[in-house]
Structure 1
Amino acid sequence: MESKRFLFVSADAALIGDLAWQIHGEGHDVKYYIEAERDREIADGFVPKTDDWRAEVEWADVIVFDDIWVGPDIGTGALAEELREQGKAVVGGTPNTDHLEEDRGYAMEILEEHGVNTVEHHIFHSFEEGIRHVQENPAPYVVKPLGEVQNVKRLLYVGTEDDGSDVVEVLRAYEKAWGHRMKGFQLQRKVEGVEVAVCGFFDGERFVEPVNFNFEHKKLFPGNIGPSTGEMGTSMFWSRRNELFERTLGRLEDWLADEGYVGSIDLNCIVNATGVYPLEFTPRFGYPTIALQEEAMESPTGEFFHDLAHGRDPDLRVHRGYQVGVRIVLPPFPFDDEKTYDENSRNAAIVFEDGDREGVHIEDAKNVDGQWRAAGESGMPLVVTGKGETMREARVQCYDRVDDVIIPNLYYRDDVGDRWVEGDGDRLHAWGYLGPRDSVGSRSAD
C-alpha cells in the first residue's frame, strides 16, 4: 500500500500515541494533536505533532479520534459526523454512540430494544433515592457513576454484602465527597460469572471478522484487589462470529450501520450458565486493549485502518492463538498527587536490560534524543505484550519481556491471563458460548 496521511486527534487526554507510532513506523505520514496541556509532551520523539488539528483536516486521508470526550463533555462523535458529511474518512463515533458510554441508562435501552438481555439496573440522580432503593430491595449492587466523573475509575464500586449495606455506606460517602460532580449513578444488580468483553471493528456497514474477546484486569493488585484503575492488563483471543458475539454485538449491527459508526466497539459482559448480561459499552478504542490488538494484527495496521475508515471491508489477519498485555505503571497511579509524581516518576528513564523492545508499546512516554522517558502526569508509560498458541505461553512471553524493563519504582500485575487458565476458558466452552474451533486458531484453555 502506498503511503497515506493519518491525523490522530486526542480532544482530551492523550491516549492514541502508540497506534500513531505503529502506523508511522509502517511508512505512513502521521500528525498527532493533543488537547490536554498536561499531556502535550506524550509521544514526543515518536511521532510528528500538530498544534491545530482542524488546520490538518484537508491534508489527511484518514482522521482518527481516540475517545468520546472533548474536555469534560462528550463530543467527538459529533465532530466525526460533521467531518464525514464533508466527505472525510474518519475512525470515530456519532452523538448516539457517544451516549452509549456516557449514559448507561440509554445504553441499556438500546440493548433491550434489540433483544439483548440486561441485568436489573436503575438510574438515580439523587443519592437519597438510591439509598432508599437498596434498603427496600436488599442485594449486592454495582455502583457506576454517570457523566465525566465516570472516568475516575476508582469510583466504580462492586458490592459484596447480601443486604447491600456496604453499597449504602459507599453512596453516603460519595454524596459528601463527589456530590458536586456526579450527575447521577447507576445501580446494577450484581451477577456472578465470567467477565468477558466482546469487541469488534465496525466499518460503517458491518463488523469485520474475526472479532475479539478480551478479559480485563481492572483492580490495581493481583487477585483483583485494591482500587479500580481503568485497566492494569488484558488477555484476549480472536474468533469468527460465535454464540457469544451473536447474542450481544451481533444484534446491534444494523443499528450501528444506521449510525454510520466506524471503529472499535466493546461490550463488557458477565456470562454464566443461565445467560449473557451486558454491563457497559466502550464505543471507542480500549486502553491498553488497542496496543494488544495491534500486537495480534498480522495485516498491516495502517492499511487496515485506512480501509476501515473508507468502508472497504478490510482484510484482518491476526495471530492464531492468545495474547496477553500488561500495563507498567509508576507512583502515584491510579491516584493524582503531583508531589509524589514529581519525586518518583516525572521524566523517569526507561531502560531495556537486553536492548530488545519487541512487544513494547508506549502510553505516557516520550523519546528525548534516543532515551525513552516517562511523560505526562498519569504514570502509565508502557504496555508490554506477549503471544502464544496457549494462554500460558502468551503469559510467559509477556512477563519475560516485562522482566527486561527497568524503570525506578515501576509496578504491575503479575497475574494477567491466570483467570483463563484457572477455569474461565473451560466454563465458557462448557456453557456453549465460544463454539467449535475455527480457522482463527486453537481454543485450548491451557
Structure 2
Amino acid sequence: MRILAYSPRLYLGDIYLSLLREGHDVRVFGADPPDQRAFGGILDPIADWHDGLRWVGRDGVVLFEGVAQGARQDALRAEGYRVVGGSALGDRLENDRAFGQAALRDAGLAIAQSSGFASPELALDWLRAHPGRYVLKHDSGAATTFVGDHPRGEDVAFMLRRSPGGGVLLMERLAGVEVGIGAYFDGQDFLRPACIDFEHKRFFPGEMGEMTGEMGTLASYEGAEALFEATLARVALRLRAAGHVGYVNLNLIVDAESGTPWPLEFTCRIGNPGFAVLAALQPAGWGDLLRRIAEGGAGSFPAHPGWSVAIVLTAPPFPATQPGASPDQDIPVFFGTPPWRTAEEANHHLVDARRDAAGQLLGHRRSGHLMIVTGIGGTVPAAQAAARARARNVVAPELRWRADIGDRFLGGEDALLRRHGWLPLA
C-alpha cells in the first residue's frame, strides 16, 4: 500500500518505520526545516508535498501527524483522497477548550464548571473575584496544563501571569480517577474495540513535579465499553457530520464519590506516547489499521488482550526545551542488547532522535525526548515488568524515566472504577 505522511516535525517517525518494516511503500513530507527535523539519518523525507500527492493518488492513504491541519485534510477528502488524521472539527475540539466543553454538553454529558477567557489577563481578573482550586488549560497547546493546589488559586494566578498568552480555560478541580477513552473513527463510526488508558503526566514518580507532555501510559483494549458508551460514543454523530477520520481520545475524571465521569478534554489525532502504547496491542500493524480506517465500514480491528505499558525515556532539558542546542550537544544512546533488526525493535519507539554519519544513535538535546519503550502482558504487573526491563536496557547520559507507570491503577484506581461499574468486576 502507498502511504504518504504529512509531518510537522516527524515526531511520529516510528510509525513510518513500522510501516516500512511491514512492506508498505512510504513517503514522508516534513514541514519543518531539514536541519531541525527528527529522524535525520533514519528517514529520508521528500522535498515536495505536491509530488507526494501525485504519487500516492486516490488509492493510497495520506496520514497527517499532529493538529492544526484539519482544514487541509477536509479539502483533500473532498478531492477524493483517503486521508487519516483529523478534521477541522477535531482541531477545534482539541484547541478551543470552551468549544470542546460545549460540544460535550450538547452531546448530553455532564461537564464540570469552567470558564473560558480570551487572554490570561482576563482569567486573572476573574480568578481574583472567584478564588478557589482550578485547573488551567491553554488553547492551541500554547503551554502544558497546570493543576492548581492552593485553596484560593494563588498558584494558578502565578501561572497565568507567566502564561504565553492566547485563550485559556479555568476548570474546577475535581477529585477522582483520571482516565482516557479512545477509539479510531472512520468517517462514519468508531471502530471497535475502544481503549482505556491512564496517563502519567507528572515528571517524577509519585505524581510529583511539573506537568509534562507525558511520562508514560497504561492502556488496554479490554474493559472500555461501559465508559465508551457513556461518553465518547455520544460524539459520533458530530464527528460523522464533520467527516472526521482518525483517532479521538476523551480525557475524563471519574468522581471518587458518585462515580460520575466528568469529561476534561479531547485529543483528536494520533498522540505521543499514545501511538506506542497502542501499537503494542495492535498485532496486525499500522498498515492494516490505516486501511480499515481509510476505507470505512470495517467495524473492528484485531487487538491483543491484556495490558500495555509505555515508558517515556528522557534526558535534560526535558520537560523544558533548548531550541538553540547545537548538534555536538546531542545525547548518545546505547543498549545493553541492541534491539534493531530483531523482534525487540517493535517495542522501542524513537521520538526526537537521529543517526550520525557513523551510525551512532543520538537524541536531540533541544528536547531530550529520546524514545518510548513498551511492554504487554495479561496483567498490569506483567506489562510493567516487560516495559521496565526494556527501559533498563537503554544507556544514555543523564537518562531519566518513571518506574511507577501503572502503580496508581494497582493502588486503588482499578478498585474505584470497578466499584462504580466502569470496569468489569474482577
Alignment TM-score > 0.5, same fold: yes
2:328 equivalent to 1:337: no
C-alpha separation in 2, matches of 1:391 and 1:235? 8
Structure 1 segments of 4 or more deviating over 4 A? 38-41, 341-345
C-alpha separation in 1, matches of 2:107 and 2:274? 26
Q: Please report how far the alpha carbon of residue 131 of structure 1 lies from its aligned counterpart in structure 2 after TM superposition.
A: 2.8
2:290 equivalent to 1:290: no
2:244 equivalent to 1:261: yes
In the other structure, the counterpart of 1:121 is 114
Q: One-letter code of the match for 1:9?
A: Y
Q: Please report how far the alpha carbon of residue 58 of structure 1 lies from its aligned counterpart in structure 2 after TM superposition.
A: 2.3
Q: Please report how far the alpha carbon of residue 342 of structure 1 lies from its aligned counterpart in structure 2 after TM superposition.
A: 4.3
**Residues 62-113 of structure 1: CA distance to partner in whole angstroms, max 9, x if unpaired?**
0000111xxxxx3x11111111111110002221221011100110111111
In the other structure, the counterpart of 1:440 is none
User: Structure 2 matches for 1:74-223, cutoff 5 A?
Assistant: 74=68, 76-147=69-140, 150-153=141-144, 156-174=145-163, 178=164, 182-223=165-206
The answer to whether the 8 A contact 1:322-1:387 is kept is yes
In the other structure, the counterpart of 2:307 is 322
Q: Please report how far the alpha carbon of residue 337 of structure 1 lies from its aligned counterpart in structure 2 after TM superposition.
A: 2.7
**Residues 284-337 of structure 1: CA distance to partner in whole angstroms, max 9, x if unpaired?**
011011011111111232121122112141642112100100111121111123
Q: Alignment partner of 2:221: what SS?
A: strand
C-alpha separation in 1, matches of 2:295 and 2:148? 44
Q: One-letter code of the match for 1:204?
A: G
**Greater alpha carbon shift after TM alignment, 87-96 vs 394-403:** 87-96
2:354 equivalent to 1:366: yes
Q: Please report how far the alpha carbon of residue 44 of structure 1 lies from its aligned counterpart in structure 2 after TM superposition.
A: 3.4
The answer to whether the 8 A contact 2:206-2:404 is kept is yes
In the other structure, the counterpart of 2:210 is 227
CA-based RMSD of the aligned residues comes to: 2.0
In the other structure, the counterpart of 1:8 is 5
**Structure 1 pair 367–29 and aligned structure 2 pair: CA distance change class (3 A):** farther
Q: Please report how far the alpha carbon of residue 40 of structure 1 lies from its aligned counterpart in structure 2 after TM superposition.
A: 4.8
**Structure 1 pair 77–126 and aligned structure 2 pair: CA distance change class (3 A):** closer
C-alpha separation in 2, matches of 1:374 and 1:323? 24
2:287 equivalent to 1:302: yes
Q: Please report how far the alpha carbon of residue 38 of structure 1 lies from its aligned counterpart in structure 2 after TM superposition.
A: 6.4
Q: Alignment partner of 1:398: what SS?
A: helix
**Structure 1 pair 407–378 and aligned structure 2 pair: CA distance change class (3 A):** same
**Greater alpha carbon shift after TM alignment, 18-27 vs 349-358:** 349-358
**Residues 202-255 of structure 1: CA distance to partner in whole angstroms, max 9, x if unpaired?**
111111111111111111111122222111111111136622111211101111
Q: Alignment partner of 1:296: what SS?
A: coil
Pairing partner for 1:42 from 15, 38, 41: 38
**Structure 1 pair 49–338 and aligned structure 2 pair: CA distance change class (3 A):** closer
Q: Please report how far the alpha carbon of residue 264 of structure 1 lies from its aligned counterpart in structure 2 after TM superposition.
A: 0.6
**Greater alpha carbon shift after TM alignment, 113-122 vs 37-46:** 37-46
- Structure 2, unmatched stretches of 5+, are none
Q: One-letter code of the match for 1:332?
A: P
C-alpha separation in 2, matches of 1:207 and 1:169? 41
**Structure 1 pair 143–320 and aligned structure 2 pair: CA distance change class (3 A):** same
C-alpha separation in 2, matches of 1:43 and 1:325? 20
Q: Please report how far the alpha carbon of residue 5 of structure 1 lies from its aligned counterpart in structure 2 after TM superposition.
A: 0.7
The answer to whether the 8 A contact 2:112-2:172 is kept is yes
The answer to whether the 8 A contact 2:196-2:219 is kept is yes
**Structure 1 pair 209–39 and aligned structure 2 pair: CA distance change class (3 A):** farther
Identity %: 32
Q: Calculate the TM-score normalised by the size of structure 2.
A: 0.92
Q: Alignment partner of 2:4: what SS?
A: strand
Q: Please report how far the alpha carbon of residue 45 of structure 1 lies from its aligned counterpart in structure 2 after TM superposition.
A: 4.1
Q: One-letter code of the match for 1:22?
A: S
- Structure 1, unmatched stretches of 5+, are 69-73, 437-443
**Greater alpha carbon shift after TM alignment, 184-193 vs 268-277:** 268-277
C-alpha separation in 2, matches of 1:232 and 1:128? 31
C-alpha separation in 1, matches of 2:34 and 2:253? 36
Q: One-letter code of the match for 1:21?
A: L
**Residues 8-49 of structure 1: CA distance to partner in whole angstroms, max 9, x if unpaired?**
111x33222011111110000111111122665422344442
In the other structure, the counterpart of 1:63 is 62
C-alpha separation in 1, matches of 2:154 and 2:321? 29
**Structure 1 pair 43–119 and aligned structure 2 pair: CA distance change class (3 A):** same
| Equivalent residue pairs, number | 415
Q: Alignment partner of 2:94: what SS?
A: helix
Q: One-letter code of the match for 2:418?
A: H
The answer to whether the 8 A contact 1:202-1:261 is kept is yes
